[in-house]
Structure 1
Amino acid sequence: PKDVKAMAAAAVERAKKATDNVEFSAEDATRSDPEFLVEVFSETVRAGATILNVPDTVGYTTPDEMFELITRLRNEVYNADKVTFSVHCHNDLGMAVANSLAAVRAGARQIECTINGIGERAGNASLEELVMALKTRQEYFGFESDIVTEQLFPSSKLLSQITGVDVQPNKAIVGANAFAHEAGIHQHGVLKNALTYEIMTPQSVGIKSSNLVMGKHSGRFALGERIKEMGFDLNDIDLNHIFVEFKRLADLKKQVFDEDIEALVTHGIGKQTDKFSLEDLIVTSGTAAVPTATIVMKIDGEVFKKASFGDGPVDAALNTIKEITGIQCTLTSYVVKAITGGTDAQGEVSVGVEKDGVRITGRGAHTDIVVASALAFLNALNRLEIRSKGHSPATPIQKTVLGGV
């Protein structure tokens, strides 16, 4: 124990040479001997620690136990009134948010948390749930954060886009059903007075509502304004690119929903600088036909064309792309979901790709699932290309002069 305390103090002293603000975190603190924890924390405070972090590393503790532990530490740690107590709660038993809030009531003033509650195993305390609990029940907790709550939903969607991990529909605050009311009596109550069944508004977390109908007659300005309302800030180049894609989609759908526009933005920004891009795709398939895909695509602006076979139209399309690019990789996952309802809905495809030990997630959206699959695969290849910069690029097949497809 003496060696442990000495090592902890030495680590803090070393860190103090680089910064005045040093956080000391005690691994698995909630399952440690409280008396020894007090001693270790006291030594680190003497060494200059300014933040004492109490992790519930395996998500084992309960709210009552967390409250008691933080209270004891604040009462017994040396110069406890001169440091900030922090908690880092995991969600293995589903109590990460509750434990974090209990710590706040006991005197913790820093919570380590993550958007969407992502993290190893069952995840960490959910940032959006903590923020809105503190805001909605301020009269109980007595504290708020400086988080701009209107950015919670856009941030959640952005993280899902980056990680390829969707938020469960019934997830508090940012789930698709968080503000949905199905029961008739609930719907009637909400229509009469939203506060009847809504303790917070969708707008307070960044879910925008609009009566503006977007379709093929909508102009660039209207689209730009709608995108701003949704929380995106695009430059003119990106907006012009998204507008072209919007007009293409509007020709295929009677009405373009916010979810469609969001997909266009998240999938379309930066596309004009991609190494690989899809120009045309034609597939033939049937009960007695061999699935075939003919693809026209660009590689660094040069046009290539090829046809190939596969076990189904999607497999044929991806095989053709592999042959054109010369990139051999493994498809590790393939997920399809509808962005909106209706038979003309856009489908969003998410693919996992692995090459040389590097795993990448790609996404694509289109009203045609095969096209969406090809776009998702190309998105993954473009991301692989970015990751592999500095290495020799893949060599594409010999260029083919375009003719009839």
Structure 2
Amino acid sequence: MSDRLFIFDTTLRDGEQVPGCQLNTVEKIQVAKQLELLGVDVIEAGFPISSPGDFHSVIEISKAVTWPTICALTRAVQKDIDVAADALKFAKHKRIHTGIGTSDEHIKYKFNSNREEIIERAVAAVKYAKKYVEDVEFYAEDAGRTDNEYLARVIEAVVKAGATVVNIPDTTGYCLPSEYGEKIKYLMEHVDGIHNAVISTHCHNDLGMATANTMAGVLNGARQVEVTINGIGERAGNTSLEEVAMILKCHKHIGIDTNINTQKIYPTSRMVSSLMNMPVQPNKAIVGRNAFAHSSGIHQDGVLKNVQTYEIIDPHDVGIDDNSIVLTARSGRAALKNRLHVLGIDLPQDKLDKVYEDFLKLADKKKDINDDDILLLAGADRSQNHRIKVDYLQVTSGVGVHSVASLGLSIAGEKFEDCASGNGPVDAAIKALKKIINRQMTLKEFTIQAISKGSDDMGKVHMQVEYDGHVYYGFGANTDIIAASVEAYVDCINKFKLD
């Protein structure tokens, strides 16, 4: 059994299935290159048959990345596999990831099938994929709720058919760590030829046990883990790459190594958070804002005497430099460029100049600029080509008076303006926006988050707006939370078609 653990990152596939967090191809390439720097062994680049965008992204990521294996997801369907193979044609190292549900729930309700037919379809898919690539991974969807004896039969059949990796997903996040560990152990002991393939874990966090289940799998013989940056993913998310990597780094006695350059963890986390407009919770392990913060007097005293009293991880080991340069209005382009580089972003000169202009404007509004502010500024150019833009916003509000907002929009170059009163400044501003757009839209969700602390901080606003039977997701960021709210609503509107 190898003491090398392979890291399979599915941020760009499973992670990108989070509503409102979709990336364009350029952004996906940016993330893929950062994952390469991080040391990820396998990048699951997408599900090619699902959309032209996913197909194109897999092609371009294959061209952009050098040494990691590029993986494409399919169902156990020949057409899926054909399209995946075509998308992977430029990959230096390619893998097709095919599979089918194996739990009784999936067999009966999803496929209206039986156990023997599922094994036949699984074997056929692996053999078909093997015609295109040598490296074929098979996933037994909902393996977490599949009884071990039948699961072992499926895995043995696909290994004999040529699968090089067998993925055992806890698709619903249902398993206890002891149960999941026993499942991996059972496969190691009961599948003939299992040592001809690598067992992979793919755990979801519905009950908060994704990382625990993953580690239980590793301790019982799994040698690939399927993870995402920041633990993002459908529903409650996936196993966090950073948690698995640092568990193994801290518990050296386990004797299992990864190829991860842990000092790239923090900048990678911040890049993904910024590009996907998905905040990292402050108390998130390893990469959260409070992960290395100590507020208790007893803790502070202990840390000042010896950092190891309350910290098992050196912040520098995950790329957090507590002596980093503080950026202010007096910082020059070189300091900004250097900080962007540390955060994994290298901009051409023209874009750097634009970001620097925006940086100076922001620096005039707040004392210190943090990494999240910089990442937001670096990503702001994504909205430059939007059809609808905010020209101006003026709001009057206070105690004992009605809030009134005046708003000016540029729609395809034509100027529009209107005003409205409302129950508070945000309500007034959105009502003015709706009067200009004049469409039946419904605000479904409205979330405000301050990036750090302080009254001068950048505020992030996430919105969901329903229009014509579809829900659209928008994002805005500004030191003025009312302006950020309008920007988020406009971001939603720019994503659906107006007559």
Asked if Structure 1 and Structure 2 have the same fold, meaning a TM-score greater than 0.5 normalized by the shorter chain, the answer is: yes
| AA aligned opposite 2:351 | D
Contact 1:293 1:316 (C-alpha < 8 Å) held by counterparts: yes
Q: Distance between the aligned counterparts of 1:236 and 1:330, measured in 2? A: 41
Q: Distance between the aligned counterparts of 2:170 and 2:249, measured in 1? A: 24
Bigger drift between 331-340 and 173-182 goes to 331-340
Q: Distance between the aligned counterparts of 1:17 and 1:373, measured in 2? A: 52
SS at match of 2:384: helix
Could you tell me which residue of structure 2 aligns to residue 188 of structure 1?
Answer: 301
Q: Distance between the aligned counterparts of 1:73 and 1:111, measured in 2? A: 16
Unaligned 5+ residue runs, structure 1?
389-393, 396-405
How does 1:6-405 map onto structure 2 within 5 Å? Answer: 6-137=120-251, 139-161=252-274, 163-266=276-379, 268-287=380-399, 289-326=401-438, 328-382=440-494, 384=495, 388=497, 394=498
Contact 1:238 1:270 (C-alpha < 8 Å) held by counterparts: no
Contact 1:351 1:377 (C-alpha < 8 Å) held by counterparts: yes
Contact 2:267 2:342 (C-alpha < 8 Å) held by counterparts: no
SS at match of 1:261: helix
Identity of aligned residues (%): 45
Q: Distance between the aligned counterparts of 1:236 and 1:18, measured in 2? A: 42
Contact 1:85 1:110 (C-alpha < 8 Å) held by counterparts: yes
| AA aligned opposite 1:133 | I
Give me the CA root mean square deviation.
Answer: 2.7
Cα gap change, 1:208/1:35 in structure 2, threshold over 3 Å: closer, same or farther? same
Q: How many residues align?
A: 385
Structure showing greater Rg: 1
| AA aligned opposite 1:79 | G
Cα gap change, 1:45/1:309 in structure 2, threshold over 3 Å: closer, same or farther? same
What are the superposed Cα offsets for residues 162-184 of structure 1, whole Å, 9 maximum, x if unpaired?
55543332221122211111122
SS at match of 1:26: strand
What are the superposed Cα offsets for residues 110-131 of structure 1, whole Å, 9 maximum, x if unpaired?
1122233233443322222112
Q: Distance between the aligned counterparts of 2:315 and 2:440, measured in 1? A: 45
Q: Give the C-alpha shift of residue 102 in structure 1.
A: 1.9
What are the superposed Cα offsets for residues 68-126 of structure 1, whole Å, 9 maximum, x if unpaired?
33233223312211111112223344322122112212221111222332334433222
Q: Distance between the aligned counterparts of 1:163 and 1:20, measured in 2? A: 33
Contact 2:144 2:172 (C-alpha < 8 Å) held by counterparts: no
Q: Distance between the aligned counterparts of 2:368 and 2:174, measured in 1? A: 49
What are the superposed Cα offsets for residues 171-205 of structure 1, whole Å, 9 maximum, x if unpaired?
21122211111122322333344333222222332
Contact 2:206 2:235 (C-alpha < 8 Å) held by counterparts: yes
Q: Give the C-alpha shift of residue 314 in structure 1.
A: 1.4
TM-score, normalised on structure 2?
0.70
Unaligned 5+ residue runs, structure 2?
1-114
Contact 2:476 2:488 (C-alpha < 8 Å) held by counterparts: yes
What are the superposed Cα offsets for residues 8-60 of structure 1, whole Å, 9 maximum, x if unpaired?
32232222233322222223334433333222222222222222222223333
Q: Distance between the aligned counterparts of 1:40 and 1:208, measured in 2? A: 48
Contact 1:164 1:361 (C-alpha < 8 Å) held by counterparts: no
Q: Distance between the aligned counterparts of 2:247 and 2:340, measured in 1? A: 28
SS at match of 2:129: helix
Could you tell me which residue of structure 2 aligns to residue 402 of structure 1?
Answer: none
Higher relative contact order (CA 8 A, sep 6+): 2
Contact 1:208 1:229 (C-alpha < 8 Å) held by counterparts: no
Cα gap change, 1:192/1:379 in structure 2, threshold over 3 Å: closer, same or farther? farther
Cα gap change, 1:253/1:2 in structure 2, threshold over 3 Å: closer, same or farther? closer
